[in-house]
């Protein structure tokens, strides 16, 4: 019966979720997530593709803040731009294989401004959007990635629709239809990882716009398919090639724990599939000149996004190909050239040389990749690396996840370094501190604009 369906359980979950469902661990993660996203939005809004996206967009006037400027726009258009900035440089948070933050933070704050919601109401919508995103998504991963879809471009539609349904105060049936309509927007092939293309940066903006408009369509009376998750052409069969069991239904039970405390923050400015390999190679910087070749064993899901399915992994020509090249990221790590914001900007500016004949490119070509199905038992990214040295010796390293994850959380002050690196040159140190301080205080009854006004340079 439909009343007991997974689809109905999701809609009921969104409608019933309330402030008391946000436990202390979730609230702490929520604050860190918002600060991380705000910093990336601010730091990435001047990147070339962000500028072109803003030039393309001519937003209708409204009350929602566009990061970096005094122009106000409708929520759907401000969220489109801010989400594109937040996903703009491979620096945003991730859960499993997807990037919830760059969808749910821009959507919640833009709609919070437009609807006049309090900060606490906005936070409830943000968390329920995040939870809807990851709870739907975790049962489709890693299959969607292995089949060539960007998970974020799929799940972000549902997370954004949940936020909009919450802040627009839709009833259960309208919420059901908002999520069902969101199915019709799903797309986002990962070909960018192989042959480039800045459109990947805009996937976040596209899915946020789609999710918000799905809720607006539902409010206007448009309906969606009843089996939008489990039908023969619903999400799971169409995009993941699988069916789901009772475990998926249990994930939306009122007693199910929040997943937000399990999110990871990016310490490196590239695909998360490279992170454990980066940290493995960093251990051997003092022996970089002695490396003959490196035996790299990786999972199917890592191979599908940063490995042999990509045509330019051994000679990346553009920033997207570099950020999705496992051999290149390993080479940068072991040579001490860096895998962060600055090194990737240097590549774009022609300072970091990966051209034919460069030492970095020569190191890249020493990485020999092999998919090891035994590693597929891990639900998160791992690295299995054996370095072979010119003197005949070798060294083996196995790494699980990376810094910024629940297994290896940031040390005190490390996250702040990232936040200020991205914001200080745009809005200044003093304003950055005020912005992050307001997020930490999180006054429930305050207006959303009290925070969003600090996303704009004061001068």
* Grouped pLDDT means (10 residues each) for the chain, 459 residues: 88 98 97 98 97 94 97 97 97 93 98 97 98 97 94 97 98 98 97 93 97 98 98 97 94 95 95 96 97 97 94 94 97 97 95 95 98 94 97 96 88 93 96 97 94 93
| DSSP sequence for 104-134 | HHHHHHHHHHHHT-BHHHHHHHHHHHHHHHH
For 97, list phi and psi in degrees, rounded to 5.
-110, 15
Q: Is residue 117 part of a domain?
A: yes
Query: Nearest 5 degrees, angle CA 163-CA 144-CA 83?
Result: 35
Regarding whether 313 and 280 lie in a shared domain, the answer is yes
How many alpha carbons fall within 13 Å on the CB side of residue 287?
18
Regarding whether 438 and 396 lie in a shared domain, the answer is no
Q: Residue 142: is the preceding peptide bond cis (ω within 30°)?
A: yes
Q: Helix H segments across 296-369?
A: 300-306, 319-323, 326-334, 341-348, 359-364
Q: Which tokens is 351 given?
A: 């300072």
Q: So what's the pLDDT on residue 3?
A: 79
* Terminal Cα distance for the chain, rounded: 59
Percent helix, strand and coil across the chain, each rounded to 5?
Answer: 55, 10, 35
Give the H or E element holding residue 387.
strand 382-389
Regarding whether 445 and 303 lie in a shared domain, the answer is no
Regarding whether 277 and 259 lie in a shared domain, the answer is no
Q: Is residue 416 part of a domain?
A: no
Answer with the one of 400, 415, 446 that is the final residue of a domain.
400
Q: How many domains does the chain have?
A: 2
CB 207 within 8 A of CB 185: yes
Q: Is residue 407 part of a domain?
A: no
| Distance of alpha carbon 358 from alpha carbon 127, whole angstroms | 46
pTM of the entire predicted model? 0.95
Q: Helix H segments across 118-189?
A: 119-137, 143-146, 151-167, 172-182
Q: So what's the pLDDT on residue 1?
A: 54
Q: So what's the pLDDT on residue 418?
A: 95
Regarding whether 109 and 203 lie in a shared domain, the answer is yes
Query: Nearest 5 degrees, angle CA 325-CA 282-CA 274?
Result: 25
Regarding whether 128 and 102 lie in a shared domain, the answer is yes
Q: Is residue 448 part of a domain?
A: yes
| Distance of alpha carbon 160 from alpha carbon 218, whole angstroms | 13
Q: Which tokens is 5 given?
A: 């369906």
| Distance of alpha carbon 432 from alpha carbon 425, whole angstroms | 10
Strands (E) in 216-332, as ranges, are 291-298
| Distance of alpha carbon 74 from alpha carbon 57, whole angstroms | 12
Regarding whether 278 and 189 lie in a shared domain, the answer is no
Residue-wise pLDDT for 218-251, tens only, equals 999 999 999 999 999 999 999 999 999 889 999 9
Alpha-carbon separation of residue 301 from 132, 156, 237, 325 (angstroms): 23, 20, 18, 14
Q: How many CB atoms lie within 10 A of CB 444?
A: 12
CB 435 within 8 A of CB 450: no
Q: So what's the pLDDT on residue 412?
A: 87
Q: Is residue 366 part of a domain?
A: yes
| Strands of 382-389's sheet in order across | 367-371, 291-298, 382-389, 394-400
| Distance of alpha carbon 426 from alpha carbon 457, whole angstroms | 7
CATH code of residue 343: 3.30.1330.120
CB 129 within 8 A of CB 103: yes
Q: So what's the pLDDT on residue 20?
A: 96
Regarding whether 41 and 142 lie in a shared domain, the answer is yes
Q: Is residue 408 part of a domain?
A: no
Q: Is residue 424 part of a domain?
A: no
Answer with the one of 354, 382, 400 that is the final residue of a domain.
400
Regarding whether 207 and 153 lie in a shared domain, the answer is yes
SS (H, E, C) 50-67: HHHHHHHCCCCEEEEECC
Regarding whether 294 and 379 lie in a shared domain, the answer is yes
Q: Is residue 222 part of a domain?
A: yes
Q: Which structural domain, as residue segments, surrounds residue 382? A: 273-400
Regarding whether 262 and 369 lie in a shared domain, the answer is no
| Distance of alpha carbon 256 from alpha carbon 263, whole angstroms | 16
Regarding whether 150 and 131 lie in a shared domain, the answer is yes
CATH code of residue 127: 1.10.4100.10
């Amino acid at each position: 019966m439909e009343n007991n369906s997974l689809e109905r359980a999701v809609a009921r979950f969104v409608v019933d979720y309330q402030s008391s469902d946000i436990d202390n661990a979730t609230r702490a993660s929520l604050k860190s997530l918002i600060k991380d996203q705000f910093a990336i939005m601010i730091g990435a809004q001047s990147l070339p593709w962000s500028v072109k996206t803003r030039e393309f967009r001519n937003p209708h006037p409204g009350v929602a803040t566009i990061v970096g400027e005094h122009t106000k726009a409708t929520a759907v258009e401000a969220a489109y731009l801010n989400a594109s900035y937040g996903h703009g440089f491979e620096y945003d948070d991730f859960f499993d294989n997807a990037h919830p933050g760059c969808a749910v933070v821009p959507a919640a704050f833009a709609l919070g401004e437009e609807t006049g919601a309090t900060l606490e109401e906005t936070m409830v919508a943000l968390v329920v959007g995040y939870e809807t995103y990851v709870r739907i998504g975790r049962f489709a991963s890693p299959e969607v990635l292995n089949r060539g879809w960007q998970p974020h471009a799929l799940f972000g539609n549902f997370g954004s629709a949940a936020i909009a349904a919450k802040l627009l105060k839709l009833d259960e049936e309208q919420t059901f239809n908002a999520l069902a309509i969101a199915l019709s927007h799903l797309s986002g092939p990962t070909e960018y990882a192989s042959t480039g293309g800045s459109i990947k940066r805009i996937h976040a903006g596209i899915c946020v716009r789609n999710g918000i408009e799905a809720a607006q369509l539902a409010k206007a009376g448009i309906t969606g398919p009843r089996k939008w998750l489990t039908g023969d052409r619903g999400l799971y069969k169409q995009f993941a090639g699988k069916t789901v069991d009772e475990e998926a239904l249990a994930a939306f039970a009122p007693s199910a724990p929040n997943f937000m405390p399990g999110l990871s923050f990016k310490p490196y400015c590239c695909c998360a599939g490279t992170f454990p390999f980066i940290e493995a190679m960093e251990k051997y910087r003092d022996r970089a000149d002695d490396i003959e070749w490196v035996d790299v064993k990786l999972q199917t899901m890592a191979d599908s996004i940063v490995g042999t399915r990509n045509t330019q992994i051994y000679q990346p020509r553009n920033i997207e190909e570099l950020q999705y090249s496992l051999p290149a990221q390993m080479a940068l790590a072991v040579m001490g050239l860096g895998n962060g914001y600055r090194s990737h900007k240097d590549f774009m500016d022609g300072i970091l040389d990966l051209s034919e004949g460069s030492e970095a490119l020569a190191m890249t070509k020493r990485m020999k990749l092999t998919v090891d199905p035994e590693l597929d038992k891990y639900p998160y990214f791992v690295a299995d690396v054996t370095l072979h040295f010119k003197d005949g010796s070798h060294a083996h390293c196995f790494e699980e996840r990376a810094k910024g994850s629940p297994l290896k959380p940031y040390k005190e002050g490390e996250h702040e370094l990232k936040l200020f690196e991205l914001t200080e040159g745009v809005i200044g140190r003093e304003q950055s501190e005020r912005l992050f301080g307001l997020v930490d205080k999180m006054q429930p009854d305050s207006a959303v604009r009290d925070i969003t006004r600090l996303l704009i340079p004061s001068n």
